[in-house]
Amino acid sequence: MNETAVRPASEAADPALDALRRVWGYPAFRGLQHEIVSHIAGGGDALVLMPTGAGKSLCYQVPSLVREGTGVVVSPLIALMQDQVDALRENGVRAEYLNSTLSAEDARRVERAMRAGELDLLYVAPERLLTDRCLELLDGSRIALFAIDEAHCVSQWGHDFRPEYLGLSVLHERFPSVPRIALTATADPQTRREIRERLALDDAREFVSSFDRPNIRYTIVEKDEPRRQLLGLLNGELRGAAGIVYCATRKRVEETATALRAQGFDALPYHAGLPVEERAANQSRFLREDGVVMVATIAFGMGIDKPDVRFVAHLDMPKSVEGYYQETGRAGRDGLPSQAWMAYGLQDVVNNRRLIDESEAGDEHKRVSRAKLDAMVALAEADGCRRVLLLRYFGEASGPCGNCDNCLTPPERWDATEAARKLLSCIYRIRQASGFGFGAHHVIGVLRGEREDKILERGHDRLSTFGIGADIDARTWHAVLRQLVARGLVEVAHERYGALELTETAVPVLKGRQQVMLAKASLARAERVKGGRSRTRTPGADPALAIGLDEDSAGRFAKLRVWRLDTAKSHGVPPYVIFHDATLAEIARRAPTGLDDLRGIPGVGATKLVRYGAALLEALSAA
Ligand code: ADP
Ligand code: ZN
């Protein structure tokens, strides 16, 4: 207490803010962080819902420093504990972890330190925590709080279910007076309820933060040649930037990674079919080196807290808006401009539909899955602000964002009433003539009057709708069809290989009683939106442009990154553990010449200033 007496009153009054500034070098809390931290520091329980990248970790790390004893963090991701602990240690925090990767000797050392009260934070895998040995260790230690990270893992409905999480209610029974904080980025009410029930968090205060990620730019383009389109995106200012490319299948992952490597990208594959060691090695390179592109199935990503992922690209459409948001949310945790880009086509709808229909799930589950897919399709086909739709999906109202494709280049709309009628009646006629429906390619072929074998064999060239749409090109017809599917006028039935069927909603349009305005989906527009094209840089350029640095600063930024990579390698930690891109960018902008110039730069805490300040200045002044 002596210490506080000499500090200015305002600082002493808020030990949490003081810790944030001193240890992390951040000037202020973000969003709900301050409230959450105060609540936990005061001994309350909390359920925290924040999108990826919003800053959940500080919500338990700061109170762990402020409260007496050790903060115990339950985290399911053993492979990432080491990095989290390294990052804390770089800031001078006394952190350790206990999991199966530790030798018996190291584990004993950690346990001793814990009992002696020498730890600020201890990360533990859930299965480890539930052992008698670990519970006894906790009995014999002073505990500041329990943090349960990725708390949605208790949900049996979710895709990340971990049975060990169900055992965590023991924490409440055994340590009733220790505050608990459960955190997740999964926001739906069902999961929230389950977390409360299963973790006995009935009285916990709920903190729901805005799910907006303003620095992420959303773009969804019509899928044409997805790999070429992806290259179009990456060959601009994103060259040299770290990113994730999601594909639906292992095969596509492999092919895409190979194609990107052939174009000079440092691309690595990741999917459940790869040997464990190869997966681990690829993940480690992604985390520890700059500018690696991970091409992956959704098996990759949970718990990856690499802050400088500059883009997340989807070559196939996710099954739900939740999935899309979680995956795209891995971009730009450092708050710098980042891209979420997706190529989407009708085949994505067909494939996802088939997966749902052929799954073993019960009818109710299938109904829910279909509704989720419909919402995803609606997002992909939207002609208004993507962010408004995304946030509305999570129950938040907002206005046009100015940072999505549709805001930046509003799609032109056209009166598609006549075209829609032609398409709908063509689907109807074909079904009437054959007794069953046909797929998009066939229907559009009939509309355009193509004399293809399949059309002639079926006698569809004699239908009244044959050739009535010859004036519109096939691509436009596909765009019209996709939008009609998204609006629920047409259904894609998987049992017949993507056969098209009309729904009740189609009737008023078919009868000419309802006007249909559609967005002009043109490839030209898709090309314009990605922006980076016009300023194409040489291969291997650093992504300074992507984060908005001028030429002088970009030069310093490049020097700093080289220094950081060397330092990270010699310390055996990922580069962002030394300093984030955002911090390096700010240093580059300020062009510091002495240690005093570094003080107050966000991300330069007291420990890092001492540890790296001089080396960093030296790196900057070197020619
Ligand atoms: P989450 O776990 O919610 O995905 P993190 O805790 O990893 O997010 O935080 C995301 C990034 O934002 C981290 O790199 C973190 O250092 C940074 N961050 C969090 N809170 C702040 C803050 N108050 N000021 C500056 N940076 C912050
Ligand atoms: Zn927008």
Kindly report, residue by residue over 554-602, the tens digit of the pLDDT.
899 999 999 999 999 998 889 999 999 989 999 999 999 999 999 989 9
Contacts with 433 (C-beta within 8 Å, 6 or more apart), sequence order: 458, 459, 460, 463
Measure the CA–CA gap between 331 and 257, rounded to whole angstroms: 19
For residue 109, name the pLDDT band (cuts at 50, 70, 90): very high
Contacts with 111 (C-beta within 8 Å, 6 or more apart), sequence order: 98, 137
Going from the Cα of 145 to the center of ligand 2, the distance in angstroms, rounded, reads 40
Q: Provide the b/e sequence for 380-405 (b: ≥16 CB within 10 Å).
A: bbbbebbbbbbbebbeeeeeebebbb
- Choice from 38, 58, 85 to test ligand 1 binding pocket (greatest atom count within 8 A of CB): 58
Q: What is the pLDDT of residues 361-386, one digit of tens each?
A: 888 888 888 888 989 999 999 989 99
Q: What is the pLDDT of residues 295-332, one digit of tens each?
A: 999 989 877 889 999 999 999 999 999 889 989 999 99
117 exposure class (CB count in 10 Å sphere: 0-12, 13-18, 19+): exposed
Measure the CA–CA gap between 342 and 557, rounded to whole angstroms: 29
264 exposure class (CB count in 10 Å sphere: 0-12, 13-18, 19+): exposed
For residue 531, name the pLDDT band (cuts at 50, 70, 90): very low
The pLDDT, as a whole number, for residue 496 is: 57
Single pTM value for the model = 0.83
Going from the Cα of 59 to the center of ligand 1, the distance in angstroms, rounded, reads 9
Closest ligand 1 atom to Cα of 33: 23
The pLDDT, as a whole number, for residue 85 is: 95
The pLDDT, as a whole number, for residue 188 is: 75
Going from the Cα of 218 to the center of ligand 2, the distance in angstroms, rounded, reads 8
pLDDT of 541 higher than 80: no
Residue closest to 349 by CA, chosen among 383, 381, 386: 381
Q: Provide the b/e sequence for 492-516 (b: ≥16 CB within 10 Å).
A: bbbeeebbbebeeebeebbeeeeeb
Going from the Cα of 526 to the center of ligand 2, the distance in angstroms, rounded, reads 15
Tokens linked to 71: 């903060």
CA atoms within 13 A on the CB side of 444: 14
* HEC readout, 461-496: HHCCCCCCCCCCCHHHHHHHHHHHHHCCCEEEEHHH
The pLDDT, as a whole number, for residue 537 is: 38
* HEC readout, 50-115: CCCCCCCHHHHHHHHHHCCCEEEEECCCHHHHHHHHHHHHHCCCCEEEECCCCCHHHHHHHHHHHH
Q: In what order do the strands lie in the sheet with 180-184?
A: 95-98, 121-124, 70-74, 143-148, 180-184, 46-49, 205-208
The pLDDT, as a whole number, for residue 534 is: 36
pLDDT of 546 higher than 80: no
pLDDT of 530 higher than 80: no
- Choice from 30, 57, 150 to test ligand 1 binding pocket (greatest atom count within 8 A of CB): 57
The pLDDT, as a whole number, for residue 594 is: 93
Judged by its nearest atom, the ligand closest to the C-alpha of residue 304 is 1
Tokens linked to 235: 């060959």
pLDDT of 456 higher than 60: yes
Measure the CA–CA gap between 255 and 235, rounded to whole angstroms: 18
Instruction: Measure CA 560 to chain center.
Output: 27
Q: Check residues 238 and 251 and name the one with the higher pLDDT.
A: 251
Conformational region of residue 94, where left means phi above 0, alpha means psi within -120 to 50, and beta covers everything else = beta
For residue 358, name the pLDDT band (cuts at 50, 70, 90): confident
Q: What is the pLDDT of residues 2-48, one digit of tens each?
A: 444 444 445 457 999 999 999 999 999 999 999 999 999 999 999 99
The mean pLDDT value for 599-613 works out to 94
Closest ligand 1 atom to Cα of 58: 6
The mean pLDDT value for 44-62 works out to 93
Q: What is the pLDDT of residues 419-450, one digit of tens each?
A: 999 999 999 999 999 988 899 999 999 999 99
To which residue do tokens 């990605």 refer? 530
Conformational region of residue 467, where left means phi above 0, alpha means psi within -120 to 50, and beta covers everything else = left
Alpha carbon distance, N-terminus to C-terminus of the chain? 48
Looking at residue 402, the DSSP 8-state letter turns out to be S
Q: Looking at the chain, how many residues does it have?
A: 623
Measure the CA–CA gap between 567 and 544, rounded to whole angstroms: 20
Judged by its nearest atom, the ligand closest to the C-alpha of residue 27 is 1
The pLDDT, as a whole number, for residue 505 is: 92
CB 60 within 8 A of CB 551: no
Average pLDDT, the chain: 89
The mean pLDDT value for 483-497 works out to 80
For residue 521, name the pLDDT band (cuts at 50, 70, 90): low
Measure the CA–CA gap between 500 and 273, rounded to whole angstroms: 34
Question: Which residues line ion ligand 2, judged by CB < 5 Å?
Answer: 385, 387, 401, 404, 407
